[in-house]
Amino acid sequence: RHFVLGGAGLHEDDDRRRLAVITDDERPLVFYGENGAMQHKMREPDE
């Protein structure tokens, strides 16, 4: 599955960044940033 939120669905101002979530229903991969420059951050291992 692939979800993308951006614009008025994510921000109330002119912020152009988007949130993209790619998942197989068990392990989501989340990207946040501007189109073409989106970054992801690895989750810290649970202790």
Q: 2-46 pLDDT, tens per residue?
A: 776 666 666 677 776 777 778 887 887 777 777 666 666 666 776
Domain ranges of the chain: 1-47
pTM (2 d.p.): 0.47
**What is the model's pLDDT at position 22?**
82
Backbone Cα Rg of the chain: 12
pLDDT at res. 23: 82
CA-nearest of 8, 17, 21 to 35 is 17
**pLDDT for residue 47 is more than 60:** no
Predicted local confidence at residue 40, as pLDDT: 62
DSSP 39: B
- Alpha-carbon distance of 33 to 17, in angstroms, equals 5
Report the pLDDT value the prediction gives residue 30, as an integer from 0 to 100: 75
